[in-house]
């Protein structure tokens, strides 16, 4: 077997005296024509607990280990990404601001679904069950996520402008048609299908474009951009509640549509891609909907499972908190206020964990955030949710946790893939997540027995527990159980 190995050591911690003072080791044998494989230092651990940090190893494999080398190459992390990032400057922060306005619209509507569902459940669709109405909103979120699997490669090839223009038109059209709906099938076509497709075209570019400009500060940048989603979740419920009472449902939704259109136009004007694009490699194919080869990387597989469970848990809280408060006899004003509180604290929760993650590690911070999320459910919502004070405290603390989950999951995805593949990996992750939301939200609605939401609350808390376990396994696949800023 022919092997050429070069170890360039930057920081070698060892208990062996014969390693002290060693700065480089070079082992050379006969060269081979086999391809070279780069392996990041995160995957290396020396004997007797010796860890190689900041180390690059180049291995020329023989035919006997070519298959293993291919597997390693497919799962290499962003540490093998040789791109340089501005990490700031006017152009970079302009893109973040553009993403902020886009998130204000897209995530703002997702965060405000409860305000729409609570109204139509007792008016236009009063004859339908909670589970039946939930299908409209679960299909909406499902389309937002699953179509991003195709949007990701399209963004990598063409950039944000084509997607932004088409998505803005379809998204706004869906809202305008929703304002005219009176029957179940009409809501399904206008809101679930039309708004869902428009949302899918917009969501992936809004997140992925930030990754073109930031790497070290990516957590802070994406966290700042996604604050727009929480701001939309604060503004939209308050706006809709006031407009429902003054101008009626139809014009309330139309005003929402005009506000969203204005924000999307601003977002498009501020967007600026940085990386070169190769359109010759893009082919429209349903095979691009999910990059199944990426699942050979166990870090990504466990992260995808964590996102699958975590997103469903987040959507459950956003969708059912308002109707839960109404079922407990709270006033309509208080019920809508809870959603506003949830999203207000979500703004803080999106930014603060992002800043912390850039110093203590993205996965570390996200694990702490999901742990806090299930604690708030089992320690506050379940035992004290019947009281107004308990609901307010829960909305505050849980809103903070939700914000961190939504902002850090994309950053964790970017940490374990190359920047050029980020759009496709991000889209693949949300393809799987979409099925969880599609089936999970109606299932959650079926757990509601009149005014008894106990089954829903326990189910949602269990989802967060599963999310935390999957994140721990993803981190273990990358660095084991040793402590580091990962």
- pLDDT mean values, one per 10 residues, the chain (486 residues): 37 39 37 40 37 36 38 39 71 90 92 86 87 89 80 76 92 96 94 94 84 77 83 90 92 96 94 67 59 86 93 86 88 86 83 84 93 95 92 93 81 82 77 84 84 92 95 91 83
- In angstroms, the CA 83 to CA 100 distance is 24
- 3-class secondary structure per residue, 214-227: CCCCHHHHHHHHHH
SS3 447: coil
Distances (CA, A) of 476 to 53, 293, 421: 17, 20, 23
The answer to whether the predicted template modeling score (pTM) of the entire model surpasses 0.75 is no
Do 180 and 186 form a contact (C-beta atoms < 8 A)?
yes
pLDDT at residue 66, rounded to an integer: 38
pLDDT at residue 429, rounded to an integer: 86
pLDDT at residue 414, rounded to an integer: 83
Region(s) of the chain under CATH 1.20.1250.20: 79-432+439-479
pLDDT at residue 80, rounded to an integer: 43
SS3 27: strand
DSSP string, 174-220: HHHHHTT--SHHHHIIIIIIIIHHHHHHHHHHHHHGGGGT-STTHHH
Architecture (CATH level 2) of domain 79-432+439-479? Up-down Bundle (1.20)
Structure tokens at 365: 């911070």
């Amino acid at each position: 077997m022919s092997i050429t190995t070069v170890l360039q050591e930057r920081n070698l911690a060892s208990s062996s005296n014969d390693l002290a003072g060693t700065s480089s080791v070079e082992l050379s044998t006969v060269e081979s024509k086999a391809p070279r494989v780069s392996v990041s230092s995160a995957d290396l651990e020396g004997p007797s607990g010796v860890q190689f940090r900041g180390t690059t190893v180049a291995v020329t494999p023989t035919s006997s280990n070519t298959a293993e080398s291919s597997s390693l190459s497919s799962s290499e992390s962003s540490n093998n990404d040789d791109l340089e990032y501005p990490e700031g400057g006017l152009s970079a922060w302009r893109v973040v601001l553009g993403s902020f306005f886009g998130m204000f619209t897209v995530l703002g509507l997702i965060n405000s679904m409860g305000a729409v569902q609570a109204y139509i459940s007792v008016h236009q669709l009063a004859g339908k069950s909670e589970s039946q109405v939930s299908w409209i909103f679960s299909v909406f979120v499902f389309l937002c996520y699953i179509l991003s699997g195709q949007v990701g490669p399209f963004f990598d090839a063409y950039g944000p402008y084509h997607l932004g223009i088409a998505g803005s038109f379809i998204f706004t059209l869906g809202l305008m048609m929703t304002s005219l709906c009176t029957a179940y099938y009409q809501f399904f076509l206008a809101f679930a299908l039309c708004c869902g497709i428009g949302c899918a075209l917009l969501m992936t570019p809004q997140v992925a474009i930030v990754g073109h400009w930031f790497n070290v500060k990516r957590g802070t940048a994406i966290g700042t951009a996604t604050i727009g989603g929480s701001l939309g979740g604060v503004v939209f419920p308050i706006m809709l509640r006031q407009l429902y009472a003054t101008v009626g449902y139809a014009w309330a939704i139309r005003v929402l549509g005009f506000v969203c259109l204005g924000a999307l136009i601003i977002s498009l004007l501020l967007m600026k891609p940085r990386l070169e694009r190769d359109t010759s490699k893009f082919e429209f194919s349903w095979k691009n909907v999910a990059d199944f080869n990426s699942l050979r990387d166990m870090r990504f597989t466990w992260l995808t499972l964590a996102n699958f469970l975590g997103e469903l848990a987040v959507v459950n809280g956003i969708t059912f908190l308002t109707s839960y408060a109404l079922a407990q006899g709270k006033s309509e004003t208080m019920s809508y206020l809870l959603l506003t509180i949830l999203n207000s604290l979500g703004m803080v929760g999106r930014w603060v964990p992002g800043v912390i993650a850039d110093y203590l590690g993205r996965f570390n911070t996200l694990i702490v955030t999901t742990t806090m999320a299930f604690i708030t459910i089992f320690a506050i919502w379940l035992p004290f949710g019947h009281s107004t004070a308990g609901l307010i405290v829960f909305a505050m603390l849980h809103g903070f946790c939700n914000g961190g989950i939504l902002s850090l999951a994309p950053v964790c995805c970017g940490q374990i893939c190359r920047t050029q593949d980020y759009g496709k990996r991000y889209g693949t992750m949300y393809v799987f997540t979409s099925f969880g939301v599609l089936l999970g939200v109606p299932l959650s609605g079926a757990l509601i027995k009149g005014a008894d939401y106990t089954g829903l609350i326990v189910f949602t808390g269990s989802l967060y527990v599963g999310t935390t376990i999957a994140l721990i396994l993803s981190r273990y696949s990358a660095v084991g159980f040793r402590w580091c800023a990962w």
